[in-house]
Structure 1
């Protein structure tokens, strides 16, 4: 459950460069690791934001998220979101599917069926299992929470298109690697798969 402190990132880069010569080349091109954790607000706020942003452009999602917070005078509390009328949530631009996801998530947290702030103390896989019980939160969203909210260093988003594309280009593969192939390629990266993933994302910039 190592988190991304500055010293841990330095250790990670040293490990990755020694473990994988192809990745070492990517690291040299990209430069210093600047993987950062979004630690403002609560874990609940972070998951609400993640659901709002799913399958939308950054600009459109930011507008909807801003309107949602304006509706409540700030980030909504679980009780507020769970009790909200559908028309209220539709008015900020949320689809019916997404508002159902948000209300389901809020209801789980409000009823204490999901202890969102206690996730810090769990192992990565336990957190993924806890979050994916929520409608609308899949494995990828749970992995992004681990990586960018909790700062966990050994997260491998094996089905992420950016990671797959970065690997394809770096390793000279004819096709995008499958999730299973990504897992195999990533074997030498443990326990720093998050940092490797960050480098492959940045390699596409």
Structure 2
């Protein structure tokens, strides 16, 4: 970026090269974030993953393409924004590491699958999937709240409306990307406004009360990183409208606790029953017992079941994760 461009407030690009821990498949990992084709926050065009990240007070567009094979992955990254100094680049690197699970080591899980034909049947077609994490714990919390007692399809619509209305825009972005709104972005939003978007009164209250508490310095969700699972769940469930399912969802998708499988997730429970051909009813304790043999990778199985369902729906072509030429 030139000094003149910064002075004019003109968008500019910065190129990065990243080397994820192998194996890595960008398409699979992007879809673990995307979940549905109408997701306008996590964008995938068949080759490039795009998203807006909030870096300080600015929204920056991040474009990621895989240029090396699954077994020797390379990522070409373009940052697009106004104030892209070395600090912004370092922050973006850390954000992408978290978002795409670039340094997550799943060698223990791979070894477990190699000795377990049942697990191998699930993982073999999804080689290179890494467990993603939302950029902030707040975003994970709002995702969980939006999808409470609703289909993922409806939840993704709600999250898209929230971001379109209150997310910070990337200057002059061709796709009009916006960063997911943070607590301060929602400080002046009213319950009526979220109701109008389709959020229930209870969900709107949960989101806005959490946002206000964080913005006011009364709540620090990122500090949950330092707590054990039980204490973190207890802290989360003290928030209005947050139950065990949402808390465990945050542990997995916000804190990266890969041993956590949100056992109250009806959709995930049904996927588990279908894939492993289980006819008996499965309750929370039954899921814990079933997944105990694959400890500490219950959350990794959660992501694989999600991608398996997306593959069955024709959204992801398992095995077609080689990088595009050029």
Instruction: Give the equivalent residue in structure 1 for 2:39.
Output: none
Which of these residues, 140, 144, 151, is aligned with residue 46 of structure 1?
140
**Any idea what SS the aligned residue of 2:144 has?**
helix
What's the TM-score, normalizing by structure 1? 0.77
Residue 120 of structure 1 and its aligned partner are, at CA, apart by 1.9
* RCO higher in structure (CA 8 A, sep ≥6): 1
Residues 123-146 of structure 1, C-alpha deviations (whole Å, 9 max, x = no match): 222222211111222222222222
The structure having more radius of gyration, on CA atoms, is 2
- Which structure dedicates a bigger proportion of its chain to strand? 2
Instruction: Give the equivalent residue in structure 2 for 1:157.
Output: 262
**Any idea what SS the aligned residue of 1:128 has?**
helix
Instruction: Give the equivalent residue in structure 1 for 2:235.
Output: 130
> Equivalences for 1:5-154 in 2 at 5 Å?
6=103, 8-18=105-115, 20-28=116-124, 30-40=125-135, 42-58=136-152, 60-72=154-166, 74=168, 75-78=180-183, 81=186, 83-154=188-259
> Equivalences for 1:176-191 in 2 at 5 Å?
176-191=281-296
- Which structure dedicates a bigger proportion of its chain to helix? 1
**Any idea what SS the aligned residue of 1:173 has?**
coil
Residue 84 of structure 1 and its aligned partner are, at CA, apart by 3.4
| Stretch of structure 1 that moved more, 132-141 or 52-61 | 52-61
- Unmatched runs of 5 consecutive residues or more in structure 1: none
CA distance in 1, matches of 2:162, 2:106: 35
CA distance in 1, matches of 2:133, 2:306: 17
| Stretch of structure 1 that moved more, 115-124 or 165-174 | 165-174
- What root-mean-square deviation, in Å, do the aligned CA atoms of Structure 1 and Structure 2 show? 2.9
**Any idea what SS the aligned residue of 1:88 has?**
helix
CA distance 1:7–1:53, shift in 2 (3 Å): closer
CA distance in 1, matches of 2:181, 2:254: 18
Residue 169 of structure 1 and its aligned partner are, at CA, apart by 3.1
CA distance 1:23–1:70, shift in 2 (3 Å): closer
CA distance in 2, matches of 1:117, 1:142: 14
- Equivalent pairs counted in the alignment come to 200
Residue 154 of structure 1 and its aligned partner are, at CA, apart by 0.7
Instruction: Give the equivalent residue in structure 1 for 2:273.
Output: 168
**8 A contact 2:252–2:261 mirrored in 1:** no
CA distance in 1, matches of 2:200, 2:300: 34
**8 A contact 1:37–1:150 mirrored in 2:** no
- Unmatched runs of 5 consecutive residues or more in structure 2: 1-97, 169-179, 313-326
CA distance in 1, matches of 2:243, 2:163: 24
CA distance 1:64–1:165, shift in 2 (3 Å): closer
CA distance in 2, matches of 1:56, 1:183: 23
CA distance in 1, matches of 2:271, 2:182: 38
| Stretch of structure 1 that moved more, 129-138 or 194-203 | 194-203
